[in-house]
C-alpha cells in the first residue's frame, strides 16, 4: 500500500507577509496578474502605502 501525501496548492500563503516599513500585515491587493509560471500580485500596505509584489508559483 502506498500512501501519497497531498499538498494543497490553493492554500493562501499570506501569513508571512509583513510590511517592511511599518510592520503591519494589512494589505490591499491592487491587482492580480496571471503569468505563464504563476501569479503576480501587487499589494499595497493599508497604513503607509508601501507597495510590494508577491509571486505565487503554479506547479
Does residue 19 touch Zn ion according to CB under 5 A? yes
Should residue 21 be labelled a site residue for Zn ion when binding is judged by CB under 5 A?
yes
Q: Does 18 bind Zn ion (CB under 5 A)?
A: no
Please state, in angstroms and as integers, the Cα–Cα distance from residue 42 to each residue in 7, 24, 26, 37, 49, following that order: 25, 16, 13, 16, 12
Interface with Zn ion by CB under 5 A: which range of 7-15, 16-24, 32-40, 51-59? Answer: 16-24
Please identify, using beta-carbon distances, which residue of 17 and 40 lies nearer to Zn ion: 17
Number of H helices and E strands in the chain, helices first, is: 0, 3
Amino acid at each position: 500500500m502506498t500512501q501519497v501525501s497531498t499538498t494543497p496548492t490553493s492554500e493562501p500563503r499570506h501569513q508571512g507577509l509583513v510590511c517592511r516599513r511599518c510592520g503591519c500585515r494589512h494589505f490591499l491587493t491592487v491587482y492580480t496578474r496571471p503569468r505563464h509560471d504563476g501569479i503576480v500580485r501587487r499589494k499595497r500596505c493599508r497604513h503607509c502605502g508601501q507597495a510590494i509584489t508577491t509571486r505565487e508559483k503554479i506547479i
